[in-house]
Structure 1
Amino acid sequence: MAGRILIVDDVATNRIVLKVKLMAACYEVLQASGGADAIASARIDQPDLILLDQMMPDMDGIAVCKKLKEDPETARIPVIIITADNDNTSKINALRAGADECMSKPLDELCLLARVRSLLRARDMSEELRLRDSTARELGFAETPASFTPSATIAMIAATPVTAMAWKTALGNTLHDKVVVIKKEQALSLTKTQNIPDVFVIACNLAKPDEGLRLMSELRSRPETRYSAVVMVIPKDANNKSATALDLGASDLMIEGFEPQEMALRIKTQIRRKIQADRLRETVRDGLRMAVIDPLTGLYNRRYAMPHLARIADHAKTSGRTYAVMVLDIDRFKAINDTHGHTIGDIVLQEVATRIKDNLRSVDMVARIGGEEFLVVMPDTHLDEARMAAERLCHVIDDRPVILAGDKGNIAVSLSIGVAMGGLHVDVRDVGQLLESADKALYCAKSDGRNQVTFSRTAA
């Protein structure tokens, strides 16, 4: 399943309609018929996202959202409030209550699914950062972040400087941050030595139609601006553009003619998330690098990998999802060292490590756990997905030899991979046993001729 979504509505027909749409997109759907049921389900089932009707007999959606956001157990679950009112007051009240979005009935399916995808992506990345931060704290390498919140920079980019200045003026004193008006060319020429905006507010249409969308794609592709939030301003009645903007990486949307209060609330939310994500990334990057990174390959080492694997297992037990554990070994690596020397052997290790990492998802963990042995852990992964990933890794190593510098030729390299699957049936304390199962599968792959993938019996 792509994610677990809780639908909250006292009208059964509304729940059924939404359920059909979401299940067609391969989401797992939970249902609650009222506010109290929603709060209980959120605490017990820990859904990935909540679709919450505003008008319910026992408790309105605003009150439910406030309670969810006040509870540490449910505060990080994204909430979309669905309202029959098509006015700015309802939207602003929902955003003030902590909702990530407020959508009016009748729901546009294209926009709804795009918003769901966007929020789930953001949640997945946030949870991965939290997971890594939690691992760092368990190892004793992370410090508690400072409580001081620095001033943020918001950049306004509109079709004309007059429009951008009007946006800035509309904010008035609602934000105590630096608001600047810049042109598209300035945004694209930013360097790391400059004050990179924390939030870009960009009009969908600049000098040309959809030029703002192309600008956002460029900003997302550049390391200087990749982690900045982007709020796109979409023309009215342009639902297809809203969906496109979200799928291209927009952090949030506003519709032309928005209220200044709405703009301020959305920007404040994006600033808060950006600062939190930056701090978590900094913790992982600086607090762990020297202690848990293998200096030769740049991958995590065993010291980091084992507690992180335990946390992934713990998360899988709570969420009910499966995950894959792979042990990978370079075939006949001793012969490479004996024939070409350890310096060449190190070059082979570095190249293999790079190819493994480049052919996996950003949420997958890759570690070097022995001389020529690697560990890959893939959270939220089914058996077929694990099989495809492992076979892909075998191919990308075997298909292309390692080229040596200075016209010294090349070295053919291959991998053997053993895979085991974890999930609800695997206790956190048994990750060592799971790793052993993957190791035994690796031994079988070696015995059966090398350069292949073998699954443990429990996984296959």
Structure 2
Amino acid sequence: MNAKGTILHKSEGFMVGRILIADEDSSHRIWLNSSLAGAGYCVEAVSDAQALTDRARATAPDVILLPERLAKRSGNVLCAKLRALPETRNAALALIADNATRAGRLSAIESGFDAILRHAPAPRLLRAWVRNLLRRQAAEAELQNALAPAAPLGFAEASDQSMAPPGQICIIANSLSEGLLWRNNLTARMRDRISVLDPQRALQELGNGQSADAIVISHSAEDPDRSAQLVSELRSRSETLRAAIVLVQEEPDQESTISALDFGVNDVLEDGFEAIELSQVLRREMARKARDDDRRASLESGLRMATFDSLTGLHNRRSALTLLDRITEAAERTKEQFAVMVLDLDRFKSINDRFGHRAGDAVLSEVSQRMQNCLRQGDVMARIGGEEFLAVVQSCDAATARVAAERLRRVVADSSVKLGEDGPEISVTISIGMVLGGSGGSEGSAAELIDLADRGLYAAKSEGRNQVTIYQSAA
């Protein structure tokens, strides 16, 4: 305990999570702290809302544990304040309820809490909740950190989830009749599509194209291991890996709750099915999933923009150099040859001057698609300059490479590019310089091989254009 009365616990070795506890009851603070001791967490406990806010700003905790009495006194203001702070915007907020009434849980969900724990949960159960919340918080933080560099460009902006289309909810109850009853009660409160799965074939149905943004599982007291096994299976499959999963128990079952939390459920309702509470939990978890899905889509979009040329859809120069480096390294191991070609559209400037830059872009796009379609899967086609391209053909000898280069030349030259239905037709040709790399070919880095192929391109241009020239060293 420090001079201000703050309890600090720091385990030996590395920290796997920062936990901030706020509770007016000193004995409860000590109990919570000791329950989390030895699990490798960095735990700090304070006594009031102001101290909580101050320490949250200073330490940026991963999980915040609040007692219901403190949350009630501060109302929704405290939760909203924590969500507004940059240091705690993405922290997991857990309410430790005094009596765990349904009304209290509904109020906590509406206030923005991520989990509601019963008063003085057993240490094993408390740690299971903390583990679960930490995993989820870490996954969200990883997404945000990955998107952080793109934030100034606007790629990381979160969409308004209130405008999101209806999601898909799947119910796996103990019987079809129970599932249909749950669906009927939820349908009156939710705009999402709700399906009831056969409890004996749920995994097969989900693996055969049945999508799910959220899955509700009814816990069976007669077969308590079934729900944990089901969650484990769902979390191991790509189709349901990121679906929100909610477990509904008829009455609290500590061991089943611990197993379910460790296998990856998003929440556990311990007092049986109740449509209002379950619908609120589902809305909260589906909104979180939709937000994370948007972040992943933004990340994929940013990655694509960093890897591919926006006009032609081909690899850009940076991506092509990386791929060529890998192909060069692989060829050293396999003792195979590969061909590097630099291609340049002939007299492209005259196309821009005569027909305009929009026509030039249309020519680039059309020619790129033609050439891309000429290559095998695994070969590389990239745009590395204005009208300059790079092709890499793997596992080929000189004769095969020559045939591939001639095919690329012909696919450009043999058919003109038509600009729209009533637009002009533009004849285009391309010159190609080529060098062989790998076993028996020229040696060098990706950049050096491109330079050699570029010399071949210069020769092709000098000798009249619309032809393929293979660079060969003086040796």
**TM-score, scaled relative to structure 1:** 0.60
Find the counterpart in structure 1 of residue 296 from structure 2.
Answer: 281
Instruction: Indicate conservation of the 8 Å contact 1:50/1:77, yes or no.
Output: yes
Instruction: Indicate conservation of the 8 Å contact 2:156/2:295, yes or no.
Output: no
Find the counterpart in structure 1 of residue 268 from structure 2.
Answer: 253
Structure with more contact order per residue of length (Cα contacts < 8 Å, sep ≥ 6): 1
| Change beyond 3 A, Cα 1:302–1:51 | farther
Counterpart amino acid of residue 98 in structure 1: G
Whole-Å separation in 2 of the counterparts to 1:335 and 1:228 = 38
Counterpart amino acid of residue 335 in structure 2: H
Instruction: Indicate conservation of the 8 Å contact 2:17/2:41, yes or no.
Output: yes
Q: 1:124 aligns with which of 100, 123, 138?
A: 138
Counterpart amino acid of residue 128 in structure 2: A
Do structure 1's residue 3 and structure 2's residue 20 form an aligned pair?
no
Question: 1:127-183 deviations in whole A, cap 9, x for unaligned?
Answer: 101111222345x48375654412111111111112112222332532121112112
Whole-Å separation in 1 of the counterparts to 2:252 and 2:333 = 68
Q: 2:55 aligns with which of 25, 36, 41?
A: 41
Question: What does 1:138-217 align with in structure 2 at a 5 Å threshold?
Answer: 138=152, 140=153, 142=155, 144=157, 147=160, 148-184=163-199, 186-190=201-205, 194-205=209-220, 208-217=223-232
Identical amino acids, percent of aligned pairs: 30
| Change beyond 3 A, Cα 1:230–1:302 | farther
Find the counterpart in structure 2 of residue 100 from structure 1.
Answer: 114
Instruction: Indicate conservation of the 8 Å contact 1:156/1:182, yes or no.
Output: yes
Find the counterpart in structure 1 of residue 65 from structure 2.
Answer: 51
Q: 2:277 aligns with which of 248, 255, 262?
A: 262
| Change beyond 3 A, Cα 1:191–1:89 | closer
Whole-Å separation in 1 of the counterparts to 2:281 and 2:71 = 29
Question: 1:290-343 deviations in whole A, cap 9, x for unaligned?
Answer: 6259xxxxxxx999xxxxxxxxxxxxxxxxxxxxxxxxxx9xx98983993566
Counterpart amino acid of residue 93 in structure 2: V
Whole-Å separation in 2 of the counterparts to 1:141 and 1:13 = 48
Give 1:53 deviation, angstroms: 1.4
Question: What does 1:23-422 align with in structure 2 at a 5 Å threshold?
Answer: 23-56=37-70, 59-60=73-74, 63-138=77-152, 140=153, 142=155, 144=157, 147=160, 148-184=163-199, 186-190=201-205, 194-205=209-220, 208-289=223-304, 291-292=306-307, 337=332, 340-341=335-336
Find the counterpart in structure 1 of residue 462 from structure 2.
Answer: none
Whose radius of gyration is greater, 1 or 2?
2
CA-atom RMSD in angstroms = 3.3
SS of equivalent to 2:66: strand
**TM-score, scaled relative to structure 2:** 0.59
SS of equivalent to 1:231: strand
Question: 1:206-265 deviations in whole A, cap 9, x for unaligned?
Answer: 984422322222121111111111111234231010000010111111124243221111
Instruction: Indicate conservation of the 8 Å contact 1:7/1:15, yes or no.
Output: yes
Whole-Å separation in 2 of the counterparts to 1:41 and 1:302 = 44
Whole-Å separation in 1 of the counterparts to 2:240 and 2:233 = 9
Whole-Å separation in 1 of the counterparts to 2:95 and 2:159 = 33
Q: 194-203 or 3-12: which moved more?
A: 194-203
SS of equivalent to 2:191: coil
| Change beyond 3 A, Cα 1:334–1:158 | closer
Structure 2's unaligned 5+ residue stretches are 1-14, 309-316, 320-325, 339-377, 379-475
Structure 1's unaligned 5+ residue stretches are 294-300, 304-329, 344-349, 351-460
Instruction: Indicate conservation of the 8 Å contact 1:5/1:51, yes or no.
Output: yes
| Change beyond 3 A, Cα 1:158–1:207 | farther
Whole-Å separation in 2 of the counterparts to 1:143 and 1:44 = 25
Whole-Å separation in 1 of the counterparts to 2:156 and 2:110 = 31
Find the counterpart in structure 2 of residue 376 from structure 1.
Answer: none
| Change beyond 3 A, Cα 1:277–1:186 | farther
The number of equivalent residue pairs is 310
Counterpart amino acid of residue 18 in structure 2: R
Question: 1:337-384 deviations in whole A, cap 9, x for unaligned?
Answer: 3993566xxxxxx9xxxxxxxxxxxxxxxxxxxxxxxxxxxxxxxxxx
Whole-Å separation in 1 of the counterparts to 2:159 and 2:71 = 43
